[in-house]
Amino acid sequence: MSTEFSNMNTDFSNMNTDFSNMNTDFSNMNTEELLKIRIKINDNIVSLKDKLKNINKLIKKTCKHQWVEYSTSGPYSERYYYCTICNCIN
């Protein structure tokens, strides 16, 4: 697992570089450049969503959940339990 995390850190540092490069002024760019950046951003989003999925799985597994009852209001009120630490819903 520690190997996974060290790989992840490398990914994040690469990602930060990408984003800081992206902080340039888009208004002076031509369509071709903008299309390239759009692909880059979309790739980042896909990769981030994957990471988020993995992280949420790990959090759900490792969190010492503290469940609190929550019910929606109205005639068809439903009861949920959510964790005050990680906000996951049960």
| Among the listed residues 52, 55, 63, 68, the single contact to Zn ion using CB under 5 A | 63
Amino acid identity of residue 10, one-letter, is T
Shortest Å, Cβ 70 to Zn ion: 14
Please, which residue, 36 or 60, has the CB nearer to Zn ion? Answer: 60
Shortest Å, Cβ 7 to Zn ion: 25
Reading phi first (left if > 0) and then psi (alpha if -120 to 50, else beta), residue 87 is in left
Q: Which residues of 11-28 are buried (b: 16+ CB within 10 A; e: fewer)?
A: eeeeeeeeeeeeeeeeee
Is residue 65 involved in binding Zn ion (CB under 5 A)? yes
Is residue 82 involved in binding Zn ion (CB under 5 A)? no
